Chains A and B, each alone.
Chain A
């Protein structure tokens, strides 16, 4: 016979106000299998836990039910307490009489009756609780970081500083991401390149970091502690080992005037190019679509003049596999294309540009050398209208969220523009000013009060070309008037959006993402860098729009999660996973189809050394214990430890007054 102890918590007044806790304890003492029942003011407190531990020893208890708050709150507290007293922790269950009872009811009589029922149900359930042992998996102490923007760079440097190896994969020819395109950064106006470049160089030099640029993650297999990752290293047609980065090839390349991606179309590059002077690695790449050699089979000039003999037209993509223990996803963001906005010219007007393009105009190393010249005719812009919330906070464009960084960069743009063009007029149309960050509000006030930016609260309904001016029609909702501004240039703060292929990356990694394509964190408050998959972490704007300080903080957080995972040789996981009864498994693999974690493997049973039939097997390292396979299994061959059919049926049976647990005996 089991000897179950029931411990009823008052939670101060939280439970005791609406539930007669003494009566619950008295009644529980009479339930079958219950050897001991008491109530106490704060069961989670130190004396409360001691009370449970002493009862386990003195009364020789075999299982424990704590009637208190939600298991989300304190299940681990009580399980640890029980384990310290020598009882298997999984023989401890909680009955939630706070969130699901006292907090939601007023009638004390009825609430007490309900609490008694809830406790009875859990007492019945705990009779079927098997003792479980944690799952231990070995861990490979190397991490993969996907994306070489500031998020990926920071995460890689921090993990490397912790003494672990990092593989950093970046799909562009250089690391640096969007931050390398920025001119100056708010709210301090320090030069973006100046603070970023040293970190990029550090990545290259750090012996713990293996850098793959112009490479993409193709496949991710395995599980927490042991992921097998396939990386496609795209052919750049330049040998990274031999190249000295002299730049002669791009200087001489005959295929010119190709819109530069780095300059966001405002500058040009050659067919063989280093995207920007501070690129890491400082090695060019050949754009075969524009290269005369690849397109017409003639030229070959770069190969002829390269003193280091680094040009290799025969280079092929290479697939590399790496084993890692953890993954940090730092794939970043893009901005919504201007073509989405018919009201602002749909990308047809040369002088209507987006915020990142304006960054390039501001940049001293940009296409205009930092002068604010109009893309259409190269004349200096004497008036600029900055429009916030273009596509953000806008259900009509399918994006209801705030892009978060635009208020700040619009203020920065207006300010920097006024620094460069003293007689220029800067107008900013805004909906609200969102400047919640350290020194952010002060920065915006400075733009308005000291730097002469004209802020207009309202939306712009239309921008159109009229001669060499852009007519901006909008509303000033503070004065209640319509506004029409003839501007030289318009800068759209287009919405921050996930990378186009973010959903397919998330699917490769088997992590969830939201309806916009941003990767989902495990808990919006308490687990902001973890994902739904153990061992995969998030950093930066791939999770939601973020500015640089926040991105860096999250990247360091992700790195510390990785390092704490790597601080042991074996990882311990909760044993609440599914297992298949191979005797009855029919091998239909419906479970494999529905499993969201890819935890089900096909296994061939051997009979007398010969393959007999295929059955499903659960990889306990990958299983998250969601129970979907249990519901899907047609032959009821799958059980979820900690949530077995018998446990659930016994619990329901106690509530409806019937013995529903299957034939057979309880654990004790």
Chain B
């Protein structure tokens, strides 16, 4: 089996460095070989696909073509990269004339690589039972609200492994670690995404609803799989306090960071120190609660 070609994307090299750190740490801990795609370029997200379909497709096609020369599986962690690569692959594979247009741009695309999210690798290749045995259910007692946002489960036809209207795969990963994932209605509601710069007040409003819903559902922490969701939910909390007078104090972590904790890795190895709201006090409290209830 050749190693997974790993596409980190720009966010994971910048604002979401801790997502990248935790992905690599977790894969290392699970002995899943990961090879960063050599010479990867922009996935074609927001600026590109808002401007030109051909540009966005060509950028993604270049990455797909590079990956195909190395492996039959390209994996990503970032929800936006995942979505762009999936869309481009779908469009190219269903329209030969688009392949020709992309060729004229200078990309030699061939159908041959499957685009997977790291959740797919963890659940379907590594397996739930293996995760259970490796994590020893170390997250027992922790209540997590899994937040999928818009891109991890949609569109339905491109992500057949997931239920688009009631996604469960992040829940599956964290439940395998022993965490209790809460039932909450805001798991796929919009966080405001790219309006972060133009309309921060909308972000504050939407994030406020999501954070409130998670808190009402009893969550200790929100887990995410998207750099933009993480940012909007985490760094807007002071703005929300200003606008709505509510202090949420809700940690927002990458699900891979929780998985890392469950695997016994240190917070620093998972980039947890890079988060703005330190989740460790809540995490430790929840896990201690559990330990106390078991021993008591």
Checking B157, B165, B189 against A342 with a beta-carbon cut-off of 8 angstroms, the contacting residue is: B165
A583 to chain B, nearest CB (A): 51
Task: Give Cα A466–Cα B189 distance, bound, in whole angstroms.
Answer: 16
| Interface status of B274 (Cβ within 8 A of chain A) | no
Find the A residue at minimum CB distance from B157.
A396
Within 8 A of B (CB), among A380-411: 396
Whether, in the assembled complex, B164 has its beta carbon less than 8 Å from a beta carbon of chain A, the answer is: yes
A342 touches B185 (CB 8 A): no
Find chain B residues with CB under 8 A from A342 CB.
163-166
Task: Say how far A114's CB is from chain B's closest CB, in angstroms.
Answer: 34
A346→B185 CA distance, assembly (Å): 12
Contact A346 B166 (CB under 8 A): yes
B185 touches A471 (CB 8 A): yes
| Contacting residues of chain A (594-631) with chain B, CB-CB under 8 angstroms | none
Is B29 at the interface (CB under 8 A from chain A)? no
Q: Tell me the chain B residues, 125-177 only, with Cβ under 8 Å from chain A.
A: 156-157, 163-166
Task: Name the CB-closest residue of A to B166.
Answer: A342
Does A251 interact with chain B (Cβ within 8 Å)?
no
A342 to B168 CA separation, bound complex (whole angstroms): 11
Query: Smallest CB–CB gap between A338 and chain B, Å?
Result: 13
CA distance A211 to B68 in the complex (A): 66
Q: Once the chains bind, are A343 and B185 in contact (CB under 8 Å)?
A: no
Q: Which single residue of chain A is at the shortest CB-CB distance from B156? A: A396
Q: Which of A327-353 contact B (CB under 8 A)?
A: 341-343, 346
- Name the CB-closest residue of A to B185: A464
Give A6-42 as 1s and 0s: 1 = Cβ < 8 Å from B's Cβ atoms: 0000000000000000000000000000000000000
B14 to chain A, nearest CB (A): 32
What count of chain A residues pass the 8 Å CB interface test?
Answer: 10
Q: How far is the CB of B94 from chain A (nearest CB, A)?
A: 16
8 Å CB contacts to B: which residues of A457-482? 462, 464-466, 471
Minimum C-beta distance from B113 to chain A (A): 27
Which residue of chain B has the shortest Cβ distance to A463 in the bound complex?
Answer: B185
Interchain nearest-CB distance for A460 vs B (Å)? 12
Chain B residues with CB under 8 A of A396: 156-157, 164
Query: Which residues of chain B are within 8 angstroms of A343 by Cβ–Cβ distance?
Result: 165-166
The residue on B at minimum CB distance from A395 is B157
In the complex, which residues of chain A have a beta carbon less than 8 angstroms from the beta carbon of B166? 342-343, 346
Please indicate the chain A residues that have their CB under 8 angstroms from the CB of B165 in the complex: 341-343
Q: How far is the CA of A136 from the CA of B25 in the complex (A)?
A: 82
Q: In the bound complex, how far is the Cα of B189 from the Cα of A471, in angstroms? A: 14
Would you give the shortest CB distance from B195 to chain A, in whole angstroms?
Answer: 15
- Chain B residues lying within 8 Å of A346, measured Cβ to Cβ, are 166
Chain A residue nearest in CB terms to B184: A464
Per the bound structure, the CA–CA distance linking A476 and B185 in Å amounts to 21
- Nearest chain B CB to A563's CB is how many angstroms away? 48
- A494 to nearest B CB, angstroms? 15
Chain A neighbourhood of B163, CB < 8 A? 342
Bound complex: CA A466 to CA B164 (Å) = 22
- List the B residue with the shortest CB-CB distance to A466: B185
A465 to B184, CA, bound (A): 9
Specify which chain B residues have a CB less than 8 angstroms from the CB of A471 in the assembled complex: 185
**Residues on B with beta carbons closer than 8 Å to the beta carbon of A462:** 185, 189
A461 to chain B, nearest CB (A): 9
- Give Cα A342–Cα B189 distance, bound, in whole angstroms: 13
CB distance from A390 to the nearest CB of B (A): 12
A466 CB contacts on chain B under 8 angstroms: 185
A224 vs B189: C-alpha distance when bound (angstroms): 58
For B167, the closest partner residue in chain A by CB is A342
Minimum CB–CB distance from B217 to chain A (whole Å) comes to 11
Q: Which residue of B lies closest to A461 (CB)?
A: B189
CA–CA, A465 to B165, complex, Å?
16
Q: Which residues of A contact B157 (CB under 8 A)?
A: 396
Measured CB to CB, the closest approach of chain A to B185, in angstroms, equals 3
Interface residues of B in 241-257 (CB under 8 A from A): none
Complex interface residues of chain B between 78 and 132 (CB less than 8 A to chain A): none
Hey, which chain A residues are within 8 Å of B156, CB to CB?
396
Cα of A503 to Cα of B42 in the assembled complex, Å: 49
Shortest Cβ distance from A530 into chain B, in angstroms?
37
How far is the CB of A485 from the nearest CB of chain B, in Å? 14
The listed residue with most B CB atoms (<10 A of its CB), out of A342, A462, A471, is: A342
Q: How far is the CA of A577 from the CA of B258 in the complex (A)?
A: 72
**Alpha-carbon separation in the docked complex, A343 to B156 (Å):** 13
Q: How far is the CA of A342 from the CA of B185 in the complex (A)?
A: 11
In angstroms, Cα B162 to Cα A342, docked, is 12
17 A-B Cβ contacts within 8 A?
A: A341-B165, A342-B163, A342-B164, A342-B165, A342-B166, A343-B165, A343-B166, A346-B166, A396-B156, A396-B157, A396-B164, A462-B185, A462-B189, A464-B185, A465-B185, A466-B185, A471-B185
Q: Which 3 A-B pairs give the minimum distances between C-beta atoms?
A: A342-B165, A342-B166, A464-B185
For the A-B complex with A396-B156, A465-B185 known, give 15 more contacts whose Cβ atoms are closer than 8 Å: A341-B165, A342-B163, A342-B164, A342-B165, A342-B166, A343-B165, A343-B166, A346-B166, A396-B157, A396-B164, A462-B185, A462-B189, A464-B185, A466-B185, A471-B185
| Residues of B participating in the A interface, judged by any CB pair closer than 8 Å | 156-157, 163-166, 185, 189
